[in-house]
Amino acid sequence: MPTTLDGQLVVAISSRALFDFEAENQVFEQGDDRAYMQLQLERLQQPARPGVAFSLVQKLMRFNHSGQPRVEVVILSRNDPVSGMRVFRSAQHYGLPIERGVFTRGEPPWRYLRPLRANLFLSTHLSDVRAALEAGVPAAQVYPQSVHASDAHPNQVRIAFDGDAVLFSDEAERVYQAQGLSAFQQHEASKAGLPLPGGPFKPLLEALHRLQSAGTAQMRIRTALVTARSAPAHERAIRTLMNWNIEVDEALFLGGLPKGEFLREFEPDFFFDDQTGHIEHAARHVPSGHVASGISNAVPGPGPHSPKS
């Protein structure tokens, strides 16, 4: 029988999202890929330090400890194959049983997401993230300067999501940006019983729900909806999740308050939001990634600093 990843949660991740290659990347950004390759080869025996998404990957892979494969992590990187050796050795050093990798030496690697049937793609390259989202794969641009996850919850994978343009479509966000907060609140109150269309990260939330249902006694998933929605717009968000038959463990309706300090208290292994202003603030407190989707990422202007979503 041929090898298959069917039924597994597949996470594709770039080398810079998993490990701290920022010093080496400075050499690459100077346009000398040969010098970069040589530097990585010289450091082959030196494990790279954990990167922003390391905790998320490490914990997700613990779902495989019962002997049944439930999570597959694949390196999907613009690195060259030579530098890829250091990536695999670093993973081995930390006990991460990562077996698969795609190294494209500067070419966009996102096109391999479809044959991998990836449920999530994490990369530091915004263009690759945008292409992945357009292809229907949940994807986020990892902010390398993000604070790393705490080790306070070793037996829980904690993930926080924004609502509009992330878990949900940007339907309501478009109303907000076109007509303002009052019209948004009225729109959402009048449609409280009508589920929102799914956003780019609905498939990931569904996959996490399946993983949780088939999970182990040793590892659990805890999710949070962290949104600047407030009453009465809260009801449509909750009813939408109920319609999907998906539960989140925590819901924070912050009414425009900055999210960072609330996220610090939740202590997620990762937070996803479509607003760059929210991500920049959140990154001071928790590992964060920008979901470049929806109206706020389609046009320039004040959208990334919108107080609503």
Other CB atoms within 10 Å distance of the CB of residue 187: 17
The strand pair at 100-103 and 71-77 is best described as parallel
Other CB atoms within 10 Å distance of the CB of residue 288: 29
3-class secondary structure per residue, 266-307: HCCCEEEECCHHHHHHHCCCCCEEECCCCHHHCCCCCHHHCC
Residues 148, 152, 155, 160, Cα dihedral to 10°: -50
| Whole-angstrom distance, CA of residue 81 vs CA of residue 32 | 16
| Distant-in-sequence, close-in-space partners of 24: CB < 8 Å, separation ≥ 6 | 36, 39, 40, 43
The structure tokens 């298959």 sit at 4
33 carries an active-site annotation: no
Which of 20, 32, 80, 162 is flagged as catalytic? Answer: 162
DSSP summary character for residue 150: P
Return the structure tokens found at 256. Answer: 């425009």
Q: Return the active site residues.
A: 162
